[in-house]
Structure 1
């Protein structure tokens, strides 16, 4: 899809992405939108905005929180939209909170310096995992909503995404690699038909090329092997080219097959799957998909 580049300026309110410290002015907020001289892809425009946001996340010295919680409790999850707490967690990620000790519990936390609350998993695969995406159906997904969807209401049971912030979370790590985890059929139980992978630090969660194949699986959920009619040895990528079926997938699209897909376009025709085709024949339906990041290997 092609749009004028000014569309992204109208679409994204960057004041919602970052609240600067008192007395400071966000450089992003001063960015002026100018009329473009040529047409460009929406994802390219969004990527440019995301990169500017990531620079702020990584480079701005946030005010020191004198009253942050070293060992916070998970926020109540029974609200339509989570309100920012008066006192935030001192950590900036689920992994940092894990490493501070104090036996944190699974749930939603609002971290210092981060623009949205995050759902943490401390119970599986070593803990310290941040939820990036939950896909319980194919309703409402496209190349925009897969980046940001219901980001103030992290959930394991409703469609949700903070993929827009995934690379910023990744960049909190210091090692050469980071970990990502895929779970499918999560409505039947955890750690099903997926696994834990390691990827080079420079790999992006919003890649549009499908060329990020230097990944290593270190833990496998259920019995499956890499294949064209299933999960392929490729970090999930955003399917921005011509195919109209998959939105987020591991498939290379050498033909009409689109197995190994995590998020599906609701307008995809001939789609008998609930909600995406996953592995033929072992796990045909993806069911509820959970996608996680941990910015360090362990």
Structure 2
């Protein structure tokens, strides 16, 4: 075997081990030798509350037939005050609390070499002892706090200066709380790397970097006789949950479907409402029942890496005053009429005779379809990138349909009118109308080079905000790259069949390209032709660079061969076209 091959194998092995460790989120613990190493933490009243939860992970590596104390904070002798944890002489776990005498709670057998979670609580009347999140013993008795002696991790007999009951093994994730936590709080969080602050958490020792520093900023410990840093228990971390924004509806809006938040966890979401008078939730469907506000909670289950968490938004349901078919004023009668006196499902008149919309038009359902992405973003500024419903009398006979909207770039409000990542299958007809029932379910589909092509360019003239002065956007390879944002300064069309639409303003450039006539982006709005470049900025000279949809060669399309001194991008891989 060559030295090069040997080193490559070592590198692969190292990276594999690193990946395993990173995936399980294991961090550091302190290992004690069982003879003279331990941590000493000076006396602190906050580590000795009258009601408490003390919890940690411990791994016993030997010492059968002796008392071994992973953690101790005791005083006196007699009377005995404070608390202790032991792996006792019979190799079972034991907790004792002092009430002048020792009040003992026994636990299950110690398993040598295995990490075990230990927790003890006292609520003012009752001790509870938990092992691996399971309640194993209770005892009604008194408790007297340690008022002067230090705490030790890895050794006992804190009532005297010389330690005893040295612990042969490792300890990790020591937490001391000033109240008795519930069984679910203990079990659900035993594998959790807690973020701070936490109400009632007095000390938190994780032993990162081989130190006994408390994450709460007080009650730091000192390492005695060099306990060593080793790999600790595996724990889950907090997920990042975003894109769950406040929603405003009207009483007359139909039920809508909750869009799942964005999360780095794979845990399943469940949804609830805290006000059933305003809205109820079944699965992902929210049914509006009354005006007011409700908090919608998305609770995400934990997975192998992330613990369970939740996020909320506020649903505001507004009341709308309408005129019924019987001429009455109401805020709840669905039999309302429009300004012409005809029954309506989307608008009515106020008591002053003014036209009023009865629906929110937020685009979150077909029943509340908006007019365009721009209208939705304008009326609902918290709208995020994703799928929305819009309706237009010139499209699908007014039947609502879904679009993908960019609600971020340059203030948002962009409707996707084309995505091209493969030149196969394009022709003159479908260049402006392909897969019009949107084939994407999320942003990942839209930016993927492996999902199908899409075009609603033929509808763009009805979606744009105005006849003149509307904007279009093109980006290629990755979002907001190799393209830009333009304003059309004339009454221009997205399906113009000649190259005359040249009065445009480049508002924002993505990249360093410059206009060229034949071999890149030309200074004109893309036009529609029955040639190789079906949708193109080409000047008509036959080179067909600056093309968005190609019917001839180049996969998916020939884009920028000559960037006019900037950076070229001949084969972009994917290209998008937008309107607002």
SS in 1 for 2:570: strand
Indicate yes or no: 2:501 matched with 1:212: yes
Match of 2:359 in 1: 68
Q: How does 1:134-283 map to 2 (within 5 A)?
A: 134-155=419-440, 156=446, 157=448, 158-170=452-464, 172-173=465-466, 176-185=468-477, 189-227=478-516, 228-240=518-530, 244-254=531-541, 256-265=542-551, 268=552, 271=553, 273-281=554-562, 282-283=568-569
Q: Could you tell me how far apart the structure 2 residues matched to 1:147 and 1:280 are?
A: 25
Contact 1:93 1:111 in 2 (8 A): yes
Aligned residue number for residue 43 of structure 1: none
CA displacement at 1:168 relative to structure 2: 0.8
Distance of aligned partners of 1:260 and 1:182 in 2 relative to their CA distance in 1, 3 Å threshold: same
Distance in 2 (alpha carbons) for counterparts of 1:142 and 1:62: 44
1:166-205 C-alpha deviation (Å, 9 max, x unpaired):
11112x437x4010000111xxx31110000000351000
Instruction: Tell me the SS of whatever aligns to 1:117.
Output: strand
Secondary structure at the aligned position of 1:216 is classed as strand
Are residues 1:88 and 2:368 paired? yes
Q: Is 1:111 matched with 2:383? A: no
| Distance in structure 2 (CA, Å) of the matches to 1:195 and 1:286 | 14
Return the match for 1:125 from 407, 410, 413: 410
Alpha-carbon separation, structure 2, partners of 1:62 and 1:288: 47
How far off is 1:88 after superposition? 2.5
Residue 95 (structure 2) aligns with: none
Name the CA distance, whole Å, in 2 between partners of 1:203 and 1:86: 30
Secondary structure of 2:491's partner?
Answer: coil
Whether the aligned pair in 2 keeps the contact of 1:262 and 1:286 (CA below 8 Å) is: no
Aligned ranges 1:285-296 → 2 under 5 Å = 285-294=571-580
- Residue aligned with 2:484, SS: strand
Q: Is the 8 A contact 1:69 1:87 kept in 2?
A: no
Point out which structure has higher relative CO (alpha carbons under 8 A, 6+ apart): 1
* CA distance in structure 2 between the aligned counterparts of 1:62 and 1:131, rounded to whole angstroms: 34
From the superposition, tell whether residues 280 and 92 of structure 1 become closer, same or farther in structure 2 (CA, over 3 Å). same
Count of equivalent residues: 208
Distance 1:201 1:98, change over 3 A: farther
SS at match of 1:182: strand
Structure 1 residues without counterparts, runs of 5 or longer: 1-60, 74-84
Residues 108 and 154 in structure 1, CA contact (< 8 A), matched pair in contact too: no
How far off is 1:147 after superposition? 1.6
Quickly say closer, same or farther: Cα 1:69–1:221, change in 2 above 3 A: same
Give the superposition deviation at 1:229.
0.9
Q: Does structure 1 retain, via aligned residues, the 8 Å contact 2:489–2:505?
A: no
Q: Max radius of gyration: which structure? A: 2
State whether residues 489 and 503 of structure 2, in contact with CA within 8 Å, keep that contact through their aligned partners in structure 1: yes
Rounded to whole Å, the distance in 2 between the matches of 1:97 and 1:128 is: 7
Cα RMSD (Å) of the superposition?
A: 2.3
CA contact (8 A) 1:145 1:161 kept: yes
The 5-angstrom pairing of residues 26-105 of structure 1 reads 64-65=345-346, 68-71=359-362, 73=364, 85=365, 87-89=367-369, 91-105=370-384
Question: Contact 2:404 / 2:415 at 8 angstroms: preserved in 1?
Answer: yes
Answer yes or no: is the 8 Å Cα contact 2:366–2:389 preserved in 1. Answer: no
Structure 2 gaps of 5+ residues are 1-341, 348-357, 393-397, 441-445, 563-567
